[in-house]
Chain A
């Protein structure tokens, strides 16, 4: 595969790669002592591997793959609770397809479905609402999963259910937010990160202001990036230039889609429906302060945690350790590369995932597994 054929504008890509190589030189970064840049978003991780950007960029630059894949950070105990809800005879459990194969301690939702639980893969919470309207004698539970890109859709759906007084609709809310785990990573004494490529579509909702602390309090550059390979290369260059110039700023490379202050309707809906939880568990990262959202008291009728007394609604949920040999936590914090995990490609493959990073195409391990062996020939 020649990357020139893959890029819309190979000339621009070549120019950016040359500039990146030059700034890496100016920074004195080498293969032995590289600059570490974390791309936060799983979509970016996928794009970096798909386009081979990790191989096209100089050895003095290393990508660390961030926690921005919602199914990858889903604790096993949460999957168990989904299965428990789904196996209740009155429940129609609705979920995005991504969550179906995430292993729980006993089974995944896919296995529960095969065993007879009424689980429906929906594209949108709007479809879960419609199922509730069509099945008034059943309890329709929607599994609210994802970062700020999906939180508004669940919030607006809960508001809609409230306005229709749809009593048989509720949400098992496991929404999470991007800034708190970034703060947790920055507070980690073993942290090796030099800068960040910020998420594009999350930022479309929340704007760029919530990242201000990264530059102000930790002195690290962050550039919010689009998804085209050219966007990613340009954003990496912007991060490196900040480092070279001794700056730490929040920059917005994706301003054609991301307004600095986000989407006001989404932010208002989320403020109305959710409040931060004191703490929330992340697979591989543990409990992180204020990193999860729960449904406010005024919408308690639509909160599956309260309705079925489950998850955090039952008090502190039980903690389940990672499966034997699974190194997802170390991979997620950049301590290990996916291939350095002893289970990679052996006990853990996309077909039979052991750890969550192998489940979704946005997970670092799945991306390594799919594209890791691809050889790229730089264009002439």
Chain B
């Protein structure tokens, strides 16, 4: 929960709500990009790498930093946990109440 996971912004899902689709180790999920958008159009973020915390992109990083961070997270088992948490969360949302 305290560690960010690197992901690449691949698509903008709502420019108005500052939401985008990020690819995190092959898993695509919606993330909020308000904290990294700045004043430029959000579309400029496509292709960028970011550290993502609980669904919010918090810091732009370069591709090399992304790869190195992912490697450490995999060593710690945190990457697998985060990706599983993303998948599980989708199932929880789809579960009827």
Seen from chain A, the residues whose Cβ lies within 8 Å of a Cβ on chain B are 6, 8, 41-43, 46-47, 50-51, 68-71, 92, 94, 96-98, 118, 120-127, 130-131, 134-135, 138, 145-147, 149-150, 152-153, 156, 160, 199, 201-202, 204-205, 227-229, 256-257, 263, 265-266, 269, 361-362
Contact = CB atoms under 8 A, between A and B. Distances in A.
B39 to A, nearest CB: 11
25 contacts: A50-B75, A70-B2, A96-B1, A96-B85, A120-B93, A120-B95, A121-B85, A123-B29, A123-B85, A125-B54, A126-B30, A138-B97, A149-B53, A153-B53, A156-B32, A201-B2, A201-B51, A227-B3, A227-B72, A227-B73, A229-B72, A256-B65, A263-B35, A269-B34, A362-B2
A57 to B, nearest CB: 18
Contact of A205 (B34, B58, B65): B58
A118 B95 CA distance: 11
Contact of A43 (B2, B65, B88, B93): B2
Interface string B70-97: 0111011110001001101110110101
Contacts of A94: 92
Given A123-B82, A199-B2, 19 more contacts: A6-B75, A47-B72, A120-B89, A121-B88, A121-B92, A123-B29, A124-B56, A124-B89, A149-B1, A149-B53, A153-B56, A156-B56, A202-B2, A204-B51, A204-B59, A257-B61, A257-B65, A263-B35, A265-B34
A47 B71 CA distance: 12
A333 to B, nearest CB: 20
